[in-house]
Amino acid sequence: MRRFLASALFLSSALPVLAAESKGGFPPFNASTFAGQLFWLALTFGTLYLLMSRVALPRVGAILAEREATIETSLAQASKAQAAAEAEAQGLEQALAKAKANAQAIAQEARSKSAREIDAKRSTVEKDLAAKMVAAEASINETKTKAMGNVEDIAREAVSAIIEQLSGKAPTAAAVTKAINAARGE
């Protein structure tokens, strides 16, 4: 900056010689133009000052203030909406957790209920089977005894028939029983 000033002073001292042929020397130092320049400067700068202070600056200031207010309210609204959304999300999460616990309880109950039912069914079936087995065993025993009883009769009849075939004379029942008992008792 200082260098510019220095060069300006140098040039302004050197150049008027060049410009002297055109009228009135170095123009910025030509005092005859001062009054006119001051007059027009006052006029134009005054106009500019009035236009800026009365019209432009209040308007731009109002625009900026309005924008700031708009941004502030929008931000406040946004943060409020965010808080509401967060609360809602929390509520949903709680509801979800509750529903999950509920579902687990229901599943647990259903499981234990079905297990109990199955147990009961199995025990009845087992009891039934046991009873049936006992009955079957009894009937087997009966059949066996009966069959064994029949075997004795058959054997006796067969013995008396064989002896009748062999000797032509039917043995007495007592003799057959005695013989069979003897054979069994051996």
Nearer to another protein by C-beta: 12 or 143? 12
Residue 78 engages another protein in binding (rule: CB under 8 A) = no
**Of 37-45, 82-90, 148-156, 178-186, which segment contacts another protein by CB under 8 A?**
37-45
Residue 65 engages another protein in binding (rule: CB under 8 A) = no
Give the phi and the psi of residue 24 in degrees, each rounded to 5.
70, 20
Residue 124 engages another protein in binding (rule: CB under 8 A) = no
Residue 15 engages another protein in binding (rule: CB under 8 A) = yes
Residue 36 engages another protein in binding (rule: CB under 8 A) = yes
Residue 76 engages another protein in binding (rule: CB under 8 A) = no
Nearer to another protein by C-beta: 46 or 149? 46
Give the phi and the psi of residue 168 in degrees, each rounded to 5.
75, 10
Residue 161 engages another protein in binding (rule: CB under 8 A) = no
Residue 63 engages another protein in binding (rule: CB under 8 A) = yes
Do 25 and 19 meet the contact criterion of CB atoms below 8 Å apart?
Answer: yes
Residues that bind another protein (CB under 8 A): 1, 4-5, 7-9, 11-12, 15-16, 18-19, 22, 26-30, 32-42, 44-45, 47-49, 51-53, 55-57, 59-64, 66-67, 70
